[in-house]
Amino acid sequence: MVMTLSYDSPGQTNCHRSRCIALPETDCLIQSLVPLTSLTSFRVGGPAEWYVAPKGLEQMQETLTWANTEGLPITLLGAGSNLLISDQGLPGLVIATRNLRHAQFDLESGLLTAGAGTSLPRLAWKAARLGWRGLEWAVGIPGTIGGAVVMNAGAHKSSTADILVNTHVLSRTGDLELLTPKDLGYRYRTSILQGSHRFVTQATFQLEPGHDPQKVLADTTAHFNQRRNSQPYHLPSCGSVFRNPGSKTAGWLIEQTGLKGYTIGQAQVAERHANFILNCGGATAYDIFLLIRHIQEQVERRWSFLLEPEVKIMGEFQGC
Ligand SMILES: Cc1cc2nc3c(=O)[nH]c(=O)nc-3n(C[C@H](O)[C@H](O)[C@H](O)COP(=O)(O)OP(=O)(O)OC[C@H]3O[C@@H](n4cnc5c(N)ncnc54)[C@H](O)[C@@H]3O)c2cc1C
């Protein structure tokens, strides 16, 4: 039996009644009309039609069963650091991995196993403090383990694919599979999991224990500082908006097109790094979307080359 409760949702106008569904035999609550703005690094976007943050595999499976019964589309949400969500929000069920957090460092094998919602930069600092090498590059990437596995997140010439041993992935019907990097079709910032109906629940990485923690911490801090000095971390963004197309970086192409500082509404091409778009305060998702399109048009006009967004654009946008 599914219990439905109704109440006025905080932050919603009073014409929107939010509902809450309790799944049987779990303390898993599925809520309607949950604002997503504060759950993305761009700090924009409308509400999820339905939202849930399961606390384990069983709750995740229960949730999938419910969504399948209701015939709802599903969106996985990690730290929301690579997403542009429409001002109209997202239809269907948003499953947040924020409660799927755990990490286990096995000193003998050097294997690190972590839940999908575990913070990647926190793990990088923890590994460094323990004197484990292999995650120093990840310290400036503000995502989760799940997001990193799906996006093949990377920096400083290293990437998730280099250290991943295997990952547990749930199908839409709730079946669990163990996949290796070979199964994931890894390429630059992409994997076959993107746009698929398969959800990462945890991943195992091969690291190198036994190093001097002071040295690993020094390298990790150097990566951290280099990023803080070269990229604008002071305002909301999604990091690099476009994939690097090859020999020239997307940032270089945008800068050479004269777009640094170009602004639509409150969305601006960063002065410090042209592949970043900043929310300067009160930008809408649509401002950012229009700026992405403008950059693509201008760069294509000048270089006959269409930049491909790295950021995942979700929900409805006029003219999309
Ligand atoms: C300031 C800043 C700097 C950045 N620098 C870098 C960088 O150097 N290198 C880099 O690679 N990225 C960078 N990024 C982008 C972003 O942090 C990465 O893409 C990160 O891996 C996204 O993880 P996430 O948890 O935030 O995923 P989200 O943004 O929440 O989701 C990204 C995609 O993965 C899917 N997804 C998330 N979790 C799961 C899951 N468990 N199972 C299945 N699908 C899932 C989502 O549905 C979505 O399609 C940066 C972002 C910011 C804001």
End-to-end CA distance of the chain: 40
State the pLDDT at residue 288: 98
User: Structural domains in the chain?
Assistant: 6-96 (3.30.43.10), 103-229 (3.30.465.10), 232-314 (3.90.78.10)
Q: Give me ligand 1 centre to Cα 304, in Å.
A: 29
Residue 168, amino acid? H
**Alpha-carbon distances, residue 203 vs 81, 126, 184, 242, 305 (angstroms):** 19, 16, 13, 26, 36
Closest Cα to atom 43 of ligand 1: 199
Q: Give me ligand 1 centre to Cα 16, in Å.
A: 30
Q: Which residues are catalytic?
A: 189, 240, 310
Q: Give me ligand 1 centre to Cα 148, in Å.
A: 6
State the pLDDT at residue 18: 82
3-state helix/strand/coil string of the chain? CCEEEEEECCCCCCCCEEEEEECCCCCCEEEEEEECHHHCCCCCCCEEEEEECCCCHHHHHHHHHHHHHHCCCEEEECCCCCEEECCCCEEEEEEECCCCCCEEEECCCCEEEEECCCEHHHHHHHHHHHCCECCHHHHHCCCEHHHHHHHCCEECCEEHHHHEEEEEEEECCCCEEEECHHHHCCECCECCCCCCCEEEEEEEEECECCCCHHHHHHHHHHHHHHHHHHCCCCCCCCCECECCCCCCCHHHHHHHCCCCCCEECCEEECCCCCCEEEECCCCCHHHHHHHHHHHHHHHHHHHCCCCCECCEEECCCCCC
Q: Are 87 and 288 in contact (CB under 8 A)?
A: no
Q: Kindly state the tokens that stand for 268.
A: 């601006």
d(CA 302, CA 238): 25
The whole-model pTM stands at: 0.94
Taking only the tens of pLDDT, the chain with its 320 residues reads 444 444 333 333 333 568 999 988 778 899 999 999 999 999 999 999 999 999 999 999 999 999 999 999 999 999 999 999 999 999 999 999 999 999 999 999 999 999 999 999 999 999 999 999 999 999 999 999 999 999 999 999 999 999 999 999 999 999 999 999 999 999 999 999 998 999 999 999 999 999 999 999 999 999 999 999 989 999 999 999 999 988 899 999 999 999 999 999 999 999 999 999 999 999 999 999 999 999 999 999 999 999 999 999 999 998 76
Q: Is 5 exposed, middle or buried (0-12, 13-18, 19+ CB in 10 A)?
A: exposed
Q: Kindly state the tokens that stand for 54.
A: 């399961």
Kindly state if the Cβ of 116 falls inside 6 Å of ligand 1.
Answer: yes
Q: How many CB atoms lie within 10 A of CB 183?
A: 15
Kindly state if the Cβ of 237 falls inside 6 Å of ligand 1.
Answer: yes
Closest Cα to atom 27 of ligand 1: 147
Q: Are 48 and 86 in contact (CB under 8 A)?
A: no
d(CA 52, CA 19): 12
d(CA 143, CA 284): 22
Q: Give me ligand 1 centre to Cα 42, in Å.
A: 12
Q: Which ligand 1 atom lies nearest to the CA of residue 201? A: 41
d(CA 233, CA 239): 9
State the pLDDT at residue 16: 52
Kindly state if the Cβ of 239 falls inside 6 Å of ligand 1.
Answer: yes
Q: Kindly state the tokens that stand for 8.
A: 């006025």
State the pLDDT at residue 318: 84
Kindly state if the Cβ of 76 falls inside 6 Å of ligand 1.
Answer: yes
Kindly state if the Cβ of 143 falls inside 6 Å of ligand 1.
Answer: yes
Q: Give me ligand 1 centre to Cα 81, in Å.
A: 5
Ligand 1 pocket mutation, candidates 43, 57, 102, 150, criterion most atoms within 8 A of CB: 150
